[in-house]
A and B are shown apart, each in its own frame.
Chain A
Amino acid sequence: MPFKLLRQGFRRTKALDRILPVQQPLARNYDVIIIGGGGHGLATAYYLAKYHGIRRVAVLERGYLAGGNTARNTAIVRSNYLTPEGVAFYAESISLFKTLSIELDFNIMYSERGHLTLAHTDAAIRTSRWRAEVNKHLGVDSELISPDEIRRLCPQLNLSSKARYPILGALYHPPGAVVRHDAVAWGYAAAAARLGVEIHVDTAVTGIIKDGNRAIGVKTSRGTAHAERILQAVAGSSSHVAEMAGFRLPIRTIPLQACVSQPLKPFLDPIIVSGSLHVYVSQSSRGELVMGGSTDPYPLYASRSTLEFKEGLMAHMLELFPFLAEIKVMRQWAGIADMTPDFSPIMGVTPVDNYFIDAGWGTWGFKATPVCGKRLAEMIANGRPPKLIEPFALNRFQRFVQIGERGAASVGH
């Protein structure tokens, strides 16, 4: 048993260290205001304070800390994308994730499980091979494997050729991992707060204060605050907040649902994804099967759950794992995904001066949390986006220079 727990156990009378900070009154002026207290916003605040010496930072959160998509995603991390831009970006994210527990002094429970994207059609085999080739070229460990190799990695899968959609192969990505998603946000929040960052929860931004075309502050439910630079990182509300700032986004906002089973003893190690069946599943360290599918078929801002989602998902789960028929769903929920036309995110400058954006994270935002924070902090500190995130600029849609990740991003969250 680790020494820290022993020490803590013997000194039981001593109060535990506070992890999350006590909320301060909202000040009038900050160097940087970050709208959105989710993973991305908190990470950005941390890297600003830690590596750029910018500590007069306020993170404003409408609800409770990291209660949006950071709390609602299915916690999968991977870098087996399709475009060179995407692969390079997510590869950096994975390398940051691997050392994040030590960086933040908080166990985010990074658990490398291996990630299998099943291919049920020859079209899916082709896409898998394409991703594998691009990944390998960029030094990311991915491979197209045969049903025999799949059986070795996940013997429980239904690999029968009689299945409705027989499994013809898979894209195997050994670094694929699951992470305790909330812990990532809490770890960043705690570490940022230790460096002086202020975190304001229950603080809704109601307007952006501008001087001409320059953003200079925000109105909130707890008063007004000014800042040299402002970042919006509000997945699920991106279009609303951008509208307050005075510009439009090419985003459609669609719910994405997920559910978990009752806790079970460990039986499934790898993360299993099937694009054709619209399923992805992993088993958490608590023993729950964490399951999701494709986004809802229509745009909506409400995070309600539907029965139809579960019915479809479970039918497909049983295609893959017929023996789970008597296992029970314990809880379902929804997050709100900001979908871009090319299934890639938007990061960078906006038409409003001093106002930066981090949006369009669709169904793949969680896995980018560390790299996003690090690079957005760099952007805010220097006033311009670093090379790694340059291709993801908002104006790429005006220029029609998109980064097509539909094939790699649509289901395999």
Chain B
Amino acid sequence: MTHPPGHRLPPPMGTLIERQAPLMFSFEGIRYAAYTGDTVASALTANGISVLSRSFKYHRPRGIVSLAASEANTLVEVNGVPNVFAERHILSEGDCIRGQNYLGSLSFDWNAWIGAFGRFLPIGFYYCSFFRPQGAWRFWEPVIRRMAGLGRVNVAAHHGYYDKAYLFADDAIIGGGAAGLSAAIAAAEKGRRVVIVDENPVLGGALNYGRVDADGMRAGDERNRLLARIKTFSNITILAGARCEGCFADNWLSIVQRQRLYKLRAGRVILATGALEQPAVFRNNDLPGVMFGSAAQRLIRLYGVRPGKRAVVLTANDFGYGVALDLADANVDVVAIIDLRHGSPGGVMKSAAAARKIRIDTGAAISEALGRGTVRGVRVVRIEPDGSAGAAFETINCDLVCVSVGFAPNLALAGHAGGRLVYDAQTAMHLPTNLPAEMAVAGSANQHFDLDMAIADGSRAGRGPQGAEQFAGDHSAYGVTHPRPLFPHSKGKEFVDFDEDLTVKDILDTIASGFEDIELLKRYSTAGMGPSQGRHSSVNTIRLTARARGKSETDIGTTTPRPPYSGESFGVLAGRSFDPVRRTPMHHRHLDAGAQMMVAGSWLRPAYYGKTQEADNAIVKEVTSVRSGAGLVDVSTLGKLEIRGPDSPEFLNRLYVTGHLKQPVDRARYGLMTDQTGTIVDDGVICRLAHRHFFVTATTSGVDAVIRSMYLCNAQWQLDVDITNVTAAYAAVNVAGPQSRKILAEVCNDIDLDKDAFPYMGVRVGHVANVLARVMRVGFVGELGYEIHVPAGCGEFIWDRLLDVGRKWGLIPFGIEAQRILRLEKGHVIVGQDTDGLTNPLEIGMGSTAAAKPFFVGGAALNAHAQRGLGRKLVGFKVEDGSLMPKECHLVIEGGEISGHVTSCARSAAVGGIIGLAYVRPHQSEIGENFTIRVDGGRLVSARVVTLPFYDPTNERQKL
């Protein structure tokens, strides 16, 4: 047989590569050739490179082990992105690949000295040292931090495009191998909508690379047969190259396909996720060139890469003999098959291997792999009757060691969904138990390794509904798992966990230190905490623990598998980041008028109109305009609720501190809401439009909580009331100032605007500029004013019309900053600014708003507060001219202690000087009292308590 140059095999090997489409990529700065379809791992192997990275702790050279992302050793940096599995990244022209976790170069890592000093770094060494004298850790931590971590973050990386999609299925089948395809066919035959999810680029699973019979033909034939059948169904959807990363409550699956996150809700989930090969634990079992049999098969069949020249196969099942046959077919010299089993077990594959005159040693094991950088040979030992390794009897030279000593069913997703994994001593594998009702496991994930059995098991699961998941037992020799492939060596370095560089001694030392529980063992030793999350290490850890503690593996239990299965990128989880900005209907008018917008919850609101460098002047101008002429402010962001129904007065009366039972129709009342502890949570205006119909406003940031609390309360009270959030349905403006009546009169002729006919706190429904509007006379800013609510679609029109007709009366738009000063001059509180998480109505002088009524939310608490007396009071204060201006939240200091804090503070032209609101102790709250505020730099400023409101104390102006 002739072969192409290098390590490539001729077709039909290499089903995933396109030989007519070669490409170039670089690794560690050197350019290499590959074919389209190659992964980083396959291309590097084809180029004779076996070292892909340096290990986490000892910086040992590492290469391919599983070729299935079962260990972190193949994590490389791809085009600046760290921690990418080399076997998963399909190469593109010009890709730039680098190894990770080394100092110097991948082939010569300065940090490799750590390996030689392993004896001085026992498990958990950092817990027992580095902390004396006091503060020593401050010195050591940066050293250890630099050593830890794998990939390097590129802080200049570009944030690419990601999106999300929803899918629905009667049956979601995870894994498109023999069992998964059979399950899909069986389910589809019943007319169910099926989605098959498979992480590989093509369906077929192990049928694409495995060998199930002596002549190596059957797997491919079965695959073709199953795929042809799948194609005949229109109710089967295939998601290939897509990995199911998590299975959440009620069969809610997270599936990642390139840059897209699919969220799939399935009636049933069938896990046909296969089984993961598991390592044998012997000295230097991490040397590049020591890999799973399935990894070698993948290289050969999927990528047409010859994994080595001279191989030793370590096995305990027929699967390993199949590997040997595949290697022989690929022109690899199979020097020996070392079978852990005593006697002469094995079936047709073994006979075929024997027929090819491959040397077979049974009852033997590998005690040590030899070589530096890559494997150069193995030491073979007899297995003693107690299962331990005896003395070495032979050294065999080789450059490839294929390990096929058993499997672990891939049941992480069952664990996500609440299933428990129980070790079955008979098969030396974990069984899924306690599965959710609508979940089934099939194929080798369910311990059926024989192809016929896997197909039958898949069909059973696909037919459903699931009865008891009785495991019938697969007694074929094919998938036998060795119960204890562990061969501790006196010189150590037999790795149990490749991600974390943990050896047998590390695990045993952890147990000896008292961390016996498997959960504690994991946390102390970090076994299974690396990027592979224990996919290759957890079973052997359990076996070691069982032996050390003299218990069975079943008693040891398992740690809980947590999502994600193998890692979801932040970008794919975030998607396009749905965090919408809410804009009022007049948004573009504000921008056109030069407004500076500010974030208010999810909304944007105009802070003021003008350039940022002229902010102060702009705000003063807006304030002055409202006080002397008129101003127009967009209050569309206010929460707006419709409360309808016969019980609506009773409902509001219970919910608000204020009284609403006898509120007259066409009247508005201030509404103050507290929670059960008497703490103020919101305020607004409650308008009675009709006997059974209220229109309620809530604060911009509070409305969502208000409506939740309304729903919650009425779920308990069961009153006959309908609650609707109409916040976005209405645009609202406030036209305020002495001229506002004249302005409104220009555009409103069906409401009598006379001061007696439409008094302060009156509500009217009429037409404003021919738009049906709700108009209320309220006075947040302390001037004659009208709040006008119109359908959102008319917001821009009303805004334009009012500004148009108001121009001659001096009407200009004003923003939040001006509004804050105006309301402060009136002493009106802003909930959330002048109140905090514990403010009760008594503290802000609103105790009298509490109506005498049998019940309201927070009523009992308010009574308790009233009886106990107040701890603090909100007062208005003035600061002497010329002193430093206090900022909001500066502290009030009395006798060296905190006695309160400032909640609002501003310079007021109308009042003259600096005014503000502050919490002080009750004895400081009398009018004329002085108190001290500590401002920036620790300086003290004296303030005097004054009567509220600061402006227009008799409230004449708002009642004009």
Report A's interface with B, CB cutoff 8 A: 1-2, 4-6, 8-9, 12, 15-22, 64-65, 67, 71, 84, 98-99, 101-102, 106-112, 120-123, 126-127, 129-130, 133-134, 137, 156, 164-166, 180, 182-183, 186, 190, 201, 261-267, 285-287, 304-307, 310-311, 313-315, 317-319, 322-333, 341-343, 397, 399-402, 404-407
Query: CB distance A120 to B248 under 8 Å?
Result: no
Whole-angstrom distance from the CB of A45 to the nearest CB of chain B?
A: 16
Whether A407 pairs with B137 at a CB distance below 8 angstroms is no
A326 touches B515 (CB 8 A): no
Minimum distance in angstroms from B551 CB to a CB of chain A: 13
Interface flag for B939 (CB, 8 Å)? no
- Pairwise interchain contact A1-B131, C-beta atoms closer than 8 A: no
* Residue pair B531, A262 in contact (C-beta under 8 Å): yes
- Assess whether B570 is in contact with A329, with CB atoms less than 8 Å apart: yes
Asked if A20 meets B131 with Cβ closer than 8 Å, knowing A126-B888, A318-B574, the reply is: no
Q: Are A404's CB and B249's CB within 8 A?
A: no
A8 in contact with B120 given A107-B131, A112-B138 (CB within 8 Å): yes
Residues of A within 8 A of B418 (CB): 304
Answer whether A263 and B889 are a contact pair too, CB < 8 Å, given A133-B901, A325-B159. Answer: no
Does chain A have a CB within 8 A of B562?
Answer: yes
Verify A327–B569 contact, CB threshold 8 A: yes
Most buried by B among A64, A133, A186: A133
Tell me, rounded to whole Å, the shortest Cβ–Cβ distance linking B271 to chain A: 18
The 5 A-B residue pairs with the shortest CB-CB distance in the complex, in nearest-first order = A287-B149, A20-B514, A325-B571, A9-B120, A328-B567
State how many angstroms separate the Cβ of A77 from the closest Cβ of chain B.
14
Q: Say whether A65 contacts B520, CB under 8 Å.
A: yes
A16 touches B132 (CB 8 A): no
Would you list which residues of chain B between 506 and 551 have a CB under 8 Å from chain A? 509, 512-517, 519-520, 523-524, 526, 529-531, 533
**CA–CA, A323 to B155, complex, Å?**
5
A4 CB contacts on chain B under 8 angstroms: 128-129
Whether the Cβ atoms of A19 and B513 lie closer than 8 Å is: yes
Query: CB within 8 A of A15: which of B81, B160, B512?
Result: B512
Given contacts A326-B569, A328-B570, contact A129 B889 (CB under 8 A): yes
Residues of A within 8 A of B149 (CB): 263-266, 286-287
- Given A107-B137, A331-B562, answer yes or no on A16-B83 (Cβ-Cβ < 8 Å): no
Closest A residue, CB atoms, query B678? A400
CA–CA, A64 and B559, complex, Å: 12
Say whether, besides A4-B129, A109-B126, A407-B836, A317 and B570 are in contact (CB < 8 Å). yes
- Interface pick from B298-306, B445-453, B861-869: B861-869
- Which of A21, A311, A331 lies at the interface centre, i.e. has the most chain B CB atoms within 10 A of its CB? A311
Give Cα A187–Cα B832 distance, bound, in whole angstroms: 43
Instruction: Point out the residues of chain B lying under 8 angstroms from A19, CB to CB.
Output: 124, 127, 513-515
User: Which residues from chain A contact B562 at a C-beta distance below 8 Å?
Assistant: 305, 331-333
| Residue picked from A6, A120, A122, A134, most chain B C-beta under 10 Å | A122
Let me know if B3 is at the binding interface, CB within 8 A. no
Whole-angstrom CA separation of A313 from B868 in the bound complex:
43
CA distance A20 to B514 in the complex (A): 5
Q: How far is the CB of A339 from chain B (nearest CB, A)?
A: 13
Q: A285–B574 contact, CB under 8 A?
A: no
B688 to chain A, nearest CB (A): 32
**In contact, B598 and A315 (Cβ under 8 angstroms):** no
Q: In the complex, are the beta carbons of A324 and B520 less than 8 A apart?
A: no
Interface residues on chain B, number (Cβ under 8 Å): 107
The chain A residue with its CB closest to the CB of B530 is A263
By beta carbon, the residue of chain B nearest A110 is B137
B134 in the interface (beta carbon within 8 A): yes
B162 close to A325 (CB less than 8 A): yes
Shortest beta-carbon distance from A161 to chain B in Å = 11
A306 contacts across to B, CB distance below 8 A = 248-249
A323 and B570 alpha carbons, distance in the complex (Å): 10
User: In the complex the two chains form, what is the Cα distance from A304 to B416 in whole Å?
Assistant: 8
B60 within 8 A of A: no
Partner of A323, one of B157, B514, B865: B157
Chain A residues positioned under 8 Å from B156 (CB to CB) = 323
* Cβ-neighbour of B571 out of A156, A263, A326 (below 8 A): A326
CB-based contact B570/A324 at 8 Å = yes
Cα(A311)–Cα(B246), bound, Å: 13
Q: Which residues of A contact B759 (CB under 8 A)?
A: none
State A43–B416 Cα separation when bound (angstroms).
33
User: Smallest distance from the beta carbon of B815 to chain A beta carbons, Å?
Assistant: 13
Tell me the complex Cα distance, A332–B567, Å: 10
Contact B889 A399 (CB under 8 A): no
Q: How far is the CB of A204 from chain B (nearest CB, A)?
A: 15
**CB pair A122 B571 closer than 8 Å:** no
Q: Which residues of B contact A406 (CB under 8 A)?
A: 837
CA–CA, A390 to B255, complex, Å? 51
Taking CB atoms, residues of chain A closer than 8 Å to B81 are 326
- Which residue on chain B has the smallest CB distance to residue A165? B599
Query: In the assembled complex, which residues on chain B have CB atoms less than 8 Å from the CB atom of A127?
Result: 889
A18-B512, A265-B151, A305-B248 known; 12 other A-B pairs, CB under 8 Å? A2-B130, A64-B519, A101-B137, A108-B131, A109-B137, A121-B600, A264-B152, A307-B254, A319-B579, A329-B570, A332-B564, A405-B837
B563 at the interface (CB under 8 A from A): yes
Cβ B160 vs Cβ A323 within 8 A: no
Which residue of B131, B145, B888 is within 8 Å of A287 (Cβ)? B145
Residue of A nearest to B701 (CB): A123
B residues near A182, Cβ cutoff 8 Å: 523-524
Chain A residues with Cβ under 8 A from B574's Cβ? 311, 314-315, 317-318, 325
Contact B573 A111, beta carbon cutoff 8 Å? no
Bound form: Cα–Cα A333–B837 in Å: 30
* Chain A positions within 8 Å of B155 at CB level: 156, 267, 323
The residue of chain B having its C-beta at the shortest distance from the C-beta of A343 within the complex is: B837
A302 and B915 CA atoms in complex are apart in Å by 51
B791 located at the interface, meaning its Cβ lies under 8 Å from any Cβ of chain A in the complex: no
A262 touches B150 (CB 8 A): yes
In the bound complex, do residue B891 and residue A16 qualify as a contact, i.e. CB atoms below 8 Å apart? no
- How many angstroms from the CA of A325 to the CA of B898 in the assembled complex? 45
- Chain B residues positioned under 8 Å from A99 (CB to CB): 134
Interchain nearest-CB distance for A185 vs B (Å): 10
Contacts of A166 in B (CB 8 A): 599
B677 within 8 A of A: yes
Q: How far, in Å, is B148 (CB) from chain A's closest CB?
A: 5
How near does chain A come to B142, taking the closest CB pair, in angstroms? Answer: 8
Would you give the 0/1 interface string for B393-427, flagging 1 where the beta carbon is closer than 8 Å to chain A?
00000000000000000000000101000000000
Select from chain A the residue with minimum beta-carbon distance to B138: A112
Chain A hits for B515, CB < 8 A: 19-20
Closest chain B residue, CB of each to CB of A400: B864
Q: Which residue of A lies closest to B526 (CB)?
A: A286
Please name the residue on chain A nearest to B518 by beta carbon: A64
In the complex formed, the residue of A with least CB distance to B564 is A329
The answer to whether B137 touches A111 (Cβ under 8 A) is yes
**A263-B148 contact, Cβ under 8 Å, with A106-B128, A123-B832, A164-B579:** yes
Interface residues of B in 141-179 (CB under 8 A from A): 141-142, 144-146, 148-160, 162
- The CB with the most chain A CB atoms within 10 A, among B141, B254, B890, is that of B141
Cross-chain contact B153 with A264 (CB below 8 angstroms):
yes
How near does chain A come to B701, taking the closest CB pair, in angstroms? 8
Q: How far is the CA of A401 from the CA of B871 in the complex (A)?
A: 10
What's the nearest-Cβ distance from chain B to residue A292, in Å? 14
Instruction: Give the distance in Å from the alpha carbon of A25 to the alpha carbon of B901 in the complex.
Output: 56
Instruction: Tell whether, in the assembled complex, residue A5 and residue B141 are in contact, meaning their CB atoms are under 8 Å apart.
Output: no
Contact call B82/A102, Cβ cutoff below 8 A: no
State in angstroms the CA–CA spacing of A405 and B678 once bound together.
16
Which residue in B82, B248, B564, B893 is a CB contact (below 8 Å) of A327?
Answer: B82
Please determine whether B148 and A1 come into contact, CB atoms closer than 8 angstroms: no
Q: A111-B137, A129-B887, A164-B579 are in contact. Are A134 and B898 (CB under 8 A)?
A: yes
Cα of A407 to Cα of B889 in the assembled complex, Å: 13
Residue ID in chain B nearest A132 by CB atoms: B889
Asked whether any CB of chain A lies closer than 8 Å to the CB of B717, the reply is no
Distance between Cα atoms of A111 and B126 in the complex (Å): 13
Task: Choose from A84, A126, A397 the contact partner of B833 (Cβ within 8 Å).
Answer: A126
